[in-house]
Amino acid sequence: MTSTAALEPAAREALVAYLLPWADDELILGHRDSEWTGFAPMLEEDLAFSSIAQDEIGHAALIYAIVAELTDGNPDHLALRRPADAYRHAEVVEKSNGDWAYTIARHYLYDQADAVRLEVLSASTYPPLAGIARKMAREEHYHRLHGEMWWERLATGSSESRGRLIDAARALAPLFGTLFGDTDGQEILLAEKILPASPASLYLAWRDQARPLLVALDPTLGRLLDGAAEPGRARPVSADFQALHAEMTMVSASGLGERW
Amino acid sequence: MPDLYEVFQRKSVTDPMVHAGSVEAADPRMALILAKETFFRREHPAGIWVARRDDLHPLAETDVLEPGSDKSYRAIEAYTGIAKKRQEVEERLR
């Protein structure tokens, strides 16, 4: 067990470098999901998907809270007061929603990545991290059931829904490697079992789950997963993200205050 | 095409199932998944069921459900105080 006070500065820094991109992933995906509020295919789904979006933003808040403690910062500022080029989310979560098939395929594949990560992090020697991982895993179970249901429905519904799902999977699969890139100083975290497994090994575990899903849709999709995990999080701000960032930070930047 | 599903819930495993509402869904699995967030975002029931509305069979002749002649003798209320009455009779006969 490692208490926050006992963390060496280098371990602190490494932990922040690992956690911040993950928090950004959860926040940006949650924000994209929330864009379906009012527009989902049916009322019941509108409620379900809006709730899932809130869960993801809630998960981001849990991670930002740890980062804030480690850096003596403020979780709200971390989430909403950084310039667009300071975010470190993976490209896959910032992409525009596209159609429903793209949204579902992204979320379901991401949920599986999250499940792999949360299972490992639940065994972290850093108690705050193990604690939030277990909390998040409980909600993620529902997300996976929801994703599996929609994936199955789109895959078997009609030739159009299946075709759209295949197109989405083809576009998305190659982007998932950057979710599992190495982060600065991660060897310190691995040595102390604050991270019980390397991101690269999580990527392999995720691929084992994703591959059968993709191959069942279309055998040629399997080879899209042959690439390695890669860093790739630092990149120029895209027009898509610029627009998302402007909307997401609008209220916080309006000077109306942080408390409602 | 979606069907209507009726949703039932119970607070604990020993409570009876109670109707919660209905959802539109393509199959029972979808109905269950969507019912969870449609009705139970704030409540946390011990279990939920869904049934396709078309699989439920309402009795059309609701008039037979109404009472005809006096059937109060079938109601529990008609038998309140029986123990006391019986005791009085026993004492009188002693």
Quote ipTM for the complex: 0.81
Identify which of B24, B27, B29 has the shortest CB distance to residue A44: B24
Q: Which of B5, B7, B37 to mutate to test the interface with A (most CBs of A within 10 A)?
A: B37
pLDDT at A259: 63
Q: Say whether A48 and B24 touch across the interface (CB within 8 A).
A: no
Q: Which of A33, A44, A154 to mutate to test the interface with B (most CBs of B within 10 A)?
A: A44
A44 Cα to chain B: minimum distance (Å): 6
A27 Cα to chain B: minimum distance (Å): 21
- The residues spanned by each domain of chain B are 1-56
pLDDT at A260: 53
pLDDT at A227: 81
pLDDT at A258: 60
Distant-in-sequence contacts of B8-17, Cβ < 8 A, 24+ apart: B8/B48, B8/B49, B8/B50, B8/B51, B9/B39, B9/B40, B9/B43, B9/B45, B9/B47, B9/B48, B9/B49, B10/B45, B10/B46, B10/B47, B11/B45, B11/B46, B12/B46, B13/B46, B13/B47, B15/B46, B17/B47, B17/B49
Would A64 be classed as within a structural domain?
A: yes
Confidence grade of residue B82 (pLDDT, cut at 50, 70, 90): confident
pLDDT in tens, B4-17: 999 999 999 999 99
Per CB distance under 8 Å, which residues of A are interface residues toward B? 42-45, 47-48, 51-52, 142, 145-146, 149, 153, 157
Residues of chain A with C-beta less than 8 angstroms from the C-beta of B34: 44-45, 47-48
Give the number of other Cβ atoms within 10 Å of residue B88's Cβ. Answer: 11
Give me the domain span that covers residue A161: 9-253
Query: What proportion of chain B, given as a percentage, has pLDDT over 90?
Result: 69
Gap between the Cα atoms of A67 and A18, Å rounded: 10
CATH of the domain spanning B1-56: 3.10.20.520
Would A258 be classed as within a structural domain?
A: no
Instruction: Give the residues of chain A that fall short of pLDDT 70.
Output: 1, 257-260
Query: Residue A33 is part of a domain; what is its CATH number?
Result: 1.20.1260.10
Domain total in chain A: 1
B11 Cα to chain A: minimum distance (Å): 19
Rounded to the nearest 10°, the torsion over CA B49, B53, B55, B60 is: 130
